């Protein structure tokens, strides 16, 4: 089946067409990063306005790329949450209008289910699998025993990994979004500062990054008072070493404990070179397959929404015309509903 998918939960207006949940037929992403950069982060009102301006153009562009018309499309899918409410509503209403006008079924998708299913555009899933979700708003370890089932076995108790990257980047006066900037700097520096790693209680798969973030801020502040300067490259390298160490170690332990066949990485921070390298090394000699999406499918896109929607479509899930943007939709509630 062909699914046209729409994603507008944050600051990318994205439309894709995906075949059978595994083949990418068209993928268009209109990024707003330049409009938000001067504010140092995403401004919700600006995001909504851009989505309104872009959505029709991006839908048409995706159909053109696929050399298809709406007649060739079997269903329309859209991110219903979580995300910025005003931004979500633009996508949801566009999807409803499109589906209604062309008499196509409508499917609501959870944004994080989308991030996970980006991996299925690369390789078929083998269950049980463990997904490390690391994005701007989420840091979770999710166990999947079958399609459409998501068990959160660990999550951050404070900041998300991407959020920590963005905040530390701001402390280093790097432009938004800070993740890619720090990643790049880290490769030019030395791990010379011993930043803390929050392992939490023995056996816990939860995460915490706020202590690390504060430690970076305090270290820079104290150094300044003493007249010492740390090279930003070294701060970036040391910070990244701490984040990657905790993420990779907990993922490895959970993968072993739950005896999974695959480990899949999802979300914007999956683009991180340090994390990709460490995980690749860690699973190199294991009978566990590691999947990490290509860079373009790590950060927000609609291809991943189309991939997740395919499973919901096959499981018979259909949204009603009362579908709404749900800024705080949980994966558990989405999983239950899609059964
Ligand atoms: P969520 O998916 O939780 O709703 P989001 O959609 O805003 O949040 P994504 O688009 O998945 O998040 O990812 C964006 C985040 O990924 C930002 O915090 C960004 O700094 C981070 N990021 C992107 N590339 C890298 C990288 N190479 N290294 C580290 N972080 C990165
Ligand atoms: Mg984004
Ligand atoms: Fe995202």
The β-bridge partners of 266 are: 133
For position 338, what pLDDT does the model report?
Answer: 54
Query: Cα–Cα distance between 170 and 155 in angstroms, integer?
Result: 24
The residue to which tokens 């939860």 are assigned: 206
Tell me the ligand closest to 139's alpha carbon.
1
Residue 12 CA: distances (Å) to CA of 118, 150, 239: 16, 25, 27
Q: Which ligand is nearest to the CA of 270?
A: 1
CA 259 to centroid of chain Cα atoms: 24
| Ligand of minimum distance to the alpha carbon of 170 | 1
* ipTM metric: 0.98
Q: What is the DSSP string of 237-279?
A: HHHHHHHHHHHHHHHHHHHHHTT-SEEEEESGGGG-HHHHHHH
List residues, by chain if needed, whose CB lies under 5 Å from ion ligand 3: 135, 300
Q: d(Cα 216, Cα 168) in Å, to the nearest integer?
A: 7
The answer to whether residues 52 and 290 touch, using CB atoms and an 8 Å cutoff, is no
Tell which one of 179, 276, 303 to mutate to probe ligand 1, the residue whose CB is within 8 A of the most ligand atoms: 179
Sheet holding 12-19, edge to edge: 23-31, 12-19, 2-7, 75-81, 106-110
The model's pTM is 0.96
Q: What's the 136 CA to ligand 1 centre distance in angstroms?
A: 4
Separation between Cα atoms, residue 231 and residue 327, nearest integer Å = 39
**194 Cα to the center of ligand 3, angstroms:** 30
Question: Looking at ligand 1, which atom is closest to the CA of residue 162?
Answer: 18
- How far is C-alpha 229 from the chain's CA centre? 34
First to last CA, the chain: 20
What strands lie across the sheet with 289-291, from one edge to the other? Answer: 151-155, 139-144, 129-134, 262-266, 289-291
DSSP 131-178: EEEE-SS-EEEEEESSTT--EEEEEBSS--HHHHHHHHHHHTTPPSSH
Say what angle helices 178-186 and 161-171 make with each other, to 10 degrees: 70
The answer to whether the CB of 31 falls within 8 A of the CB of 125 is no
pLDDT in tens for each of the 339 residues of the chain?
A: 999 999 999 999 999 999 999 999 999 999 898 888 888 889 999 999 999 999 999 999 999 999 999 999 999 999 999 999 999 999 999 999 999 999 999 999 999 999 999 999 999 999 999 999 999 999 999 999 999 999 999 999 999 999 999 999 999 999 989 999 999 999 999 999 999 999 999 999 999 999 999 999 999 999 999 999 999 999 999 999 999 999 999 999 999 999 999 999 999 999 999 999 999 999 999 999 999 999 999 999 999 999 999 999 999 999 999 999 999 999 999 988 755
Nearest CA to ligand 1 atom 5: 136
The span from the CA of 96 to the CA of 106, in Å, is 7
Question: CB-based contacts of 276: which residues, under 8 Å, 6+ apart?
Answer: 265, 270, 292
């Amino acid at each position: 089946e062909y699914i046209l998918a729409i994603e507008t939960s944050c600051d990318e207006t994205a439309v894709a067409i995906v075949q059978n949940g595994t083949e990418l037929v068209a993928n268009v992403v209109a990024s707003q990063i330049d409009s938000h950069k001067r504010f140092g982060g995403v401004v919700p009102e600006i995001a909504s306005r851009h989505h309104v301006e872009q959505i029709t153009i991006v839908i048409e562009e995706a159909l053109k790329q696929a050399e298809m018309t709406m007649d060739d499309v079997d269903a329309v899918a859209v991110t219903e949450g979580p995300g910025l409410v005003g931004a979500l509503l633009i996508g949801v209403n566009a999807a409803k209008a499109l589906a209604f006008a062309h008499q196509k079924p409508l499917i609501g998708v959870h944004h994080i289910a989308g991030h996970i299913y980006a991996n299925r555009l690369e390789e078929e899933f083998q269950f049980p699998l463990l997904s490390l979700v690391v994005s701007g708003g989420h840091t979770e370890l999710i166990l999947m025993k079958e399609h459409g089932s998501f068990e959160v076995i660990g999550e951050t108790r404070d900041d998300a990994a991407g959020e920590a990257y963005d905040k530390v980047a701001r402390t280093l006066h790097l432009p938004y979004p800070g993740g890619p900037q720090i990643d790049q700097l880290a490769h030019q520096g030395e791990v010379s500062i011993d930043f803390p790693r929050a392992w939490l209680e023995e056996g816990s798969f939860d995460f915490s990054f706020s202590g690390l973030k504060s430690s970076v801020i305090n270290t820079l502040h104290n150094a300044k008072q003493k007249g010492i300067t740390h090279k930003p490259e070294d701060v970036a390298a040391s910070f990244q070493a701490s984040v990657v160490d905790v993420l990779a170690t907990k993922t490895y332990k959970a993968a072993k404990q739950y005896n999974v066949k695959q480990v899949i990485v999802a979300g914007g921070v999956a683009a991180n070179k340090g994390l990709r390298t460490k995980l690749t090394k860690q699973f190199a000699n294991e009978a566990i397959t590691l999947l990490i999406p290509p860079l373009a499918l790590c950060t927000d896109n609609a291809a991943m929404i189309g991939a997740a929607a395919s499973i919901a479509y096959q499981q018979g899930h259909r949204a009603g015309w009362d579908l709404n943007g749900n800024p705080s939709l949980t994966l558990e509630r989405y999983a239950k509903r899609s059964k």
